Amino acid sequence: MSSQNREGTTKTAELSPAASIEKSTSSHLPSLTLEQQRVVDAYRLGQMEEWLFQQHLADDPVLARYVRRICRGRRDEP
């Protein structure tokens, strides 16, 4: 992703590897609610303990499917 500043030079925004993976598989992912996205974000940022994240996955099949698809990518899709 790039954009030009006032001087006419191009600035490039670097994406993290996780963002690149997520972007490439996003068309095959289920939509998340705001609350589900907050759970994922909190876990990714280290603000949620593993056991609690696993509990969310056990209680929420849509969230579990999202995480499974992010981790596995398209190659394992049915």
Instruction: Please report whether residue 26 resides in a domain.
Output: no
Q: Where are the alpha helices (DSSP H) in the chain?
A: 17-25, 34-44, 50-59, 61-72
CA separation for the pair 7, 67 (Å, rounded):
42
Domain residues for the domain of 67 are: 31-78
- Give a yes or no: residue 50 inside a domain: yes
Whether 76 is covered by a domain: the verdict is yes
The list of the chain residues with pLDDT below 50 reads 1-3, 9-25, 76
Flag whether 35 is in a domain. yes
Asked whether 78 and 46 are in contact (CB, 8 A), the reply is no
- Residue 67 forms part of a structural domain: yes
pLDDT value at position 20? 41
Provide the token pair at 58.
Answer: 């056990």
- What is the model's pTM? 0.58
Predicted confidence at residue 72, as pLDDT, reads 81
The total number of structural domains in the chain stands at 1
14 found inside a domain: no
